[in-house]
Amino acid sequence: MRLNSPQINLITKACLKASRSLIRDFGEIENLQVLAKGPGDFVTSADKRTEKILIEELQKAHPEYGIVTEETGVINKSNIENRWIIDPIDGTMNFLNGVPQFAISIGYEEKGEIKCGVIFNPIMNEMFIAEKGNGAYLNNSRIRVSNKKKIKDSLLVTGGPKGASKIKDKIYSEYINVSNNVSNIRKFGSAALDMAYVACGRFDGYWQRELNYWDIAAGLIIVKEAGGFADFFEEDVNLPLKKNILATNSNIHKELSELINQKTY
């Protein structure tokens, strides 16, 4: 079954259009590494340019919808019933260093619930799509989470603390506790793709603290529609756009949640 609702069609069209300039920008990264100024400003421009294209395409159909974005902030703040949640480049450090592990991520939220979403890696040409009640897909092929039953046999992925994090010790301690109970943990650098990879069975589980809502909005529906669990833990009601995420194949969800919640710090 191919997903072709108006929202999905609109999101995929926006992603494909924005990806054309993003692919060109990515091709310039290697040349920019030798410049004295460095590629940082270029990446910021690529982020903003990609976001601008996405916003323009989405607003053509629904100019009244709210939009939550990484670069611009919140557009149409009064509309909290219908919102697009946009991350133009999730995995900017990978992008900055010429690593093709980044994605455009767009979720559509209705009355506080993500109804559909798209995560698109333009370099690998992998588009993950899901819609509530209609399943999850990778390039139009149905995807499902893995069937691993025990956390000790699982392959997990996480992101670790950001440079400015004030809870680094807590995050490192948590990592050590989880790593002592599983076979392998990876760190790939893109929250959106980490969740997409859980959805298609490449990883069995994912957890990370101190994320932004736009990092994982689309991934929430993709994981759930692929048969997995995705939820938040230790939420701060004063920071609604900051999230701590746990996403798994559902079989190991309880075990991973317990490991994360163990007070080892």
**DSSP bridge pairs for 41:** none
Domain boundaries, the chain: 6-142, 151-261
Strand 82-90 to 66-69 pairing: parallel
Global pTM value? 0.93
Helix (H) or strand (E) holding 196: helix 191-199
How does pLDDT run across 124-136, given as a tens digit for each residue? 999 999 999 999 9
* Half-sphere exposure at residue 112, Cβ-oriented, CA atoms within 13 angstroms: 1
Helix (H) or strand (E) holding 103: strand 103-110
Q: What is the CATH number of domain 151-261?
A: 3.40.190.80
Report residue 37's pLDDT band, with 50, 70 and 90 as the boundaries.
very low
The domain covering 6-142 belongs, at the CATH homologous superfamily level, to: Fructose-1,6-Bisphosphatase, subunit A, domain 1 (3.30.540.10)
Distance of CA 170 to the CA centre of its chain: 23
How does pLDDT run across 83-101, given as a tens digit for each residue? 999 999 999 989 988 899 9
Res. 252: pLDDT tops 70: yes
Strand 184-186 to 229-232 pairing: unpaired
CB 47 within 8 A of CB 8: no
